[in-house]
Amino acid sequence: MEPKIWVFFYGAYINPSVLREIELIPEEYRVATLGGFRLNIAPTATLSREPGSTVWGTIATATHEELRRLYTEHAKIFLGGEYFPRAVTVTDLNDNIIPALCYICDDMKPAPAAPDYIEQIARPAEEYGFPKEYVRMIRNFSTASG
């Protein structure tokens, strides 16, 4: 059995129903933050380095094969870019610091974000209890780009 590793999700993959679509059902799944990065959604979510900023998301366990399927097959087709792994450390809500992989698209071609895509992120963000201003920022990507 292939070992599972932690991965940090920050876009539509924070939504368990999106993960179920590609048959990825993490054994562990929890809210976490990643410091030193900023979220951008145009047309889909990616991160860029920004000291002092924090990205809210989730960490989940997955195998390398599940991550390959998620980021090579699903993301390339449905998110319109190539996402590559970065080693990061995230902090969960109990202040545990956890090493994880985080997949980032460095060559996202800017385009308007679809309102339904934004909602796939904003709705679970509210349910997880992300800060209200962070959820508002996510929703503003729809009005900012469309």
Domains of the chain: residue spans and CATH:
5-145 (3.10.490.10)
pLDDT of residue 23: 87
pTM: 0.93
Least confident of 25-29, 59-63, 122-126: 25-29
Q: Can you tell me the distance from the alpha carbon of 138 to that of 125, in angstroms, rounded to the nearest whole number?
A: 9
Q: Can you tell me the distance from the alpha carbon of 131 to that of 139, in angstroms, rounded to the nearest whole number?
A: 13
Tell me how many degrees the CA angle 105-122-4 measures, rounded to the nearest 5: 55
Span 31-59, pLDDT tens digits? 999 999 999 998 999 999 999 999 999 99
Average pLDDT over residues 67-96: 87
Structure-token pair, residue 142: 């729809």
pLDDT above 90 (res 22): no
